[in-house]
Structure 1
Amino acid sequence: MDERTARIEDVEFLARSTTRIRLLETLRERGPATREDLREALSASRTTVSRNLDALCDRGWVRATDREYALTPGTDAIVDRFLDLESTVGIADRLRPFLEHVDDDAFDVDLGLLDEATVTVTEPGDPLAMVNAHVAAIQRSTDVLAAVPFLGLHATEAVHESVVDGDATVELVAGPRVVETLLEAPGYAALAADLQAADGFTLSRAPADVPFYVGVLDDVVQVGVDEDGEPRALIESTTPAVRDWARAKIDSFRE
């Protein structure tokens, strides 16, 4: 058996039993413990705890000393990495309606940063859920930086109201076709004229189409994806590192 196969089998050994993971977590958090301590902590039977402790000892991840069990050196790192993997799998599953519509190379944020992110998708009974969430964020924000792959009249009207009738500052970054639509298309041109005359609005022309929507609206980051111009999913996050990523991504579109 080669080393990689052996490592994969070790991962499989942990993944097959939540009891083993819970035993390792408990020993990491509380230090050495007896079998009875562990049985009470896990609310598990004596047989279950004993069988899995013995298996962990056989792997060299746990050792027994004076009737107490403790992690061997390095096992705490195994627990941390396994839990990171478990968390990432959960995040990816939750974000799948978004991820299946975005290019992996363009959406290069660390998924681990999106643990607290919310996901809004279109539903048969609420097809405008994404649009409404986007517009609501514009209406309550005073500082907006956003890169947009296409325009929506409802959102543009919200920007107009926030800047022209309010005191918000908004910078939009968009590709050439979107800029042309904003400045010339019926329904948009009059709004754009008012916005360009206002102090709080900036329009930046990107050299190419923006691949997906990304906005920083005060302390909220929104990232939205579409399919042929139809909104599909919107994620929202307030994690500072995600805001840093979003600002850098918008800068890359602008350049």
Structure 2
Amino acid sequence: MESALEEIEFLALSANRVDVLRLLAERGHTRTELASETGASQATLGRILSDFQERSWIRRMDSEYTATATGELVATGFTDLQAIIETERRLRDVVDFLPAESMTFDLKRLANATITTPSQTRPNAPLSRLLELLEDADEVQTVSHAFNEQTITVVQEQTATDSQLFNGVFSRRAIKALAADTELRGRLEALLGTDNASVRVLDGDVPLAVMILDDVVYLLLRDEYGVLRASIDTDDEVIRSWAQDAVDDYWADATPLDLEDDEFSE
């Protein structure tokens, strides 16, 4: 009897085998239907169906073939493995920058996420993606270790025109950096002066930068030196729930920002 790895290799080495088993796990098919959907020749299909019957993965009923219970098990497992590998390949270049300890959801939830990385022609692509989403959002919630010039400018302008509601939790260091810059301090004061925005300060490190823009979750990924390496955004419901819990927890632990405090004085 072949080993489990040999069986996996048998299936994986032929795209036609994978497609045929997947189709038969969904419903019964005739050989003509299988040929039409896979593009495989009748000779190839004959070999595949014979091999599958030998393994008891499929059975024939009249002119149709259908997967057995174990055939469905193999098809489902292999499809899951493919999805995992495809997700891993997409995340491979950014995995070192993920706040993995804070991400309590299954990484498979990122399978359809949009990953944006800098390039020579678009070095600010991740930030540009954020600003694009930010300008269209009606409600924004965030927790972050940074609050950059472009972001606070958009938020301040949107909240000032009643186009957006904003709640943000930031590290004390991030707020100090803004307060030390005359122009940005003015933006921050204007933001705090509107009824559409609330800002809180958190002591200690903030290990992630997550923003909820209506139904979209946006993650900014930075390296150990604070350099922006990538961004990920998704409307996955499970990740949305995780992000909301994270923002709520940080919000509860933070204190309302008062720029009159001595530490933020000009």
Query: Within 2, Cα distance between the matches of 1:221 and 1:18?
Result: 35
Q: 1: CA distance between counterparts of 2:168 and 2:5?
A: 47
CA 1:36/1:133 → structure 2, altered by over 3 Å: closer, same or farther? closer
Structure 1 segments, 4+ long, off by >4 Å, are 65-68
Measure the CA separation in 1 of the matches of 2:242 and 2:74: 29
Find the counterpart in structure 1 of residue 43 from structure 2: 47
AA of the residue aligned to 2:74: I
Contact 2:216 2:233 in 1 (8 A): yes
Of 143, 149, 155, which aligns to 1:153? Answer: 149
> Cα 1:9–1:249, aligned 2, differ >3 Å: closer, same or farther?
farther
Quick one: distance in 1 between partners of 2:20 and 2:100?
A: 36
Residue among 175, 191, 195 paired with 2:171: 175
Q: Which of 117, 122, 134 is 1:121 aligned to?
A: 117
Match for residue 18 of structure 1?
A: 15
What do residues 160-192 of structure 1 show as CA deviations (whole Å, max 9, x unaligned)? 111224342111112221132234444322222
Please tell me the residue identity of whatever aligns with 1:206. Answer: L
- Paired position in structure 2 for 1:187: 183
Identity %: 27
Contact 1:183 1:193 (C-alpha < 8 Å) held by counterparts: no
Q: Name stretches of at least 5 consecutive residues in structure 1 with no aligned partner.
A: none
Residues 97 and 232 in structure 1, CA contact (< 8 A), matched pair in contact too: no
State the distance in 1 between where 2:175 and 2:108 align.
34
Note the C-alpha offset of 1:74: 3.4
- Counterpart code for 2:16: T
1:90 aligns with 2:81: no
Choose from 1, 6, 17 the match for 2:3: 6
User: 1:110-163 CA deviation, whole Å, 9 max, x = no partner?
Assistant: 233223321211111111111122122222212100112222111111111112
Whether the 8 Å contact between 2:105 and 2:238 is mirrored in structure 1 is no
1:204 aligned to which of 200, 207, 213: 200
Q: What is the DSSP-based 3-state SS (H/G/I as helix, E as strand, rest coil) of the residue aligned with 1:188?
A: helix
Specify whether residues 158 and 37 from structure 1 end up closer, same or farther in structure 2 by C-alpha distance, changes over 3 A only. Answer: closer
Whole-Å separation in 1 of the counterparts to 2:125 and 2:231: 9
Q: 1:192 is matched by which residue type in structure 2?
A: L
Please list the CA deviations of residues 84-108 of structure 1 after superposition, one character each: whole Å capped at 9, or x if unmatched. Answer: 2212221222233332311422233
SS in 2 for 1:187: helix
Once residues 99 and 253 of structure 1 are traced to their aligned partners in structure 2, the CA distance between those partners, rounded to angstroms, is 24
Alpha-carbon distance, 1:26 to partner: 1.8
2:243 alignment counterpart: 246
Q: Tell me which moved more, 140-149 or 55-64.
A: 55-64
Q: 1:201 to 1:184 in 2, by over 3 A?
A: farther
SS at match of 2:20: helix
Coordinate RMSD, CA, aligned = 2.3
| Distance of 2:160 and 2:179 partners within structure 1 | 16
Contact in 1 for aligned 2:139/2:166 (Cα 8 Å): yes
Q: TM-score, normalised on structure 2?
A: 0.84
Counterpart CA distance in 1 for 2:37 and 2:136 is: 46
- Local SS of the residue matching 1:248: helix
Change (3 A) 1:124 1:37: closer
User: 1:160·1:191 contact (CA, 8 Å) conserved in 2?
Assistant: yes
Q: Distance in 2 between matches of 1:52 and 1:187?
A: 69
Structure 2: gaps of 5 or more residues: 254-266
Normalization by structure 1: what TM-score? Answer: 0.87
Q: Is the 8 A contact 2:94 2:230 kept in 1?
A: yes
- Per the alignment, in what secondary structure is the counterpart of residue 59 of structure 2? strand
1:63 to 52, 59, 76: 59
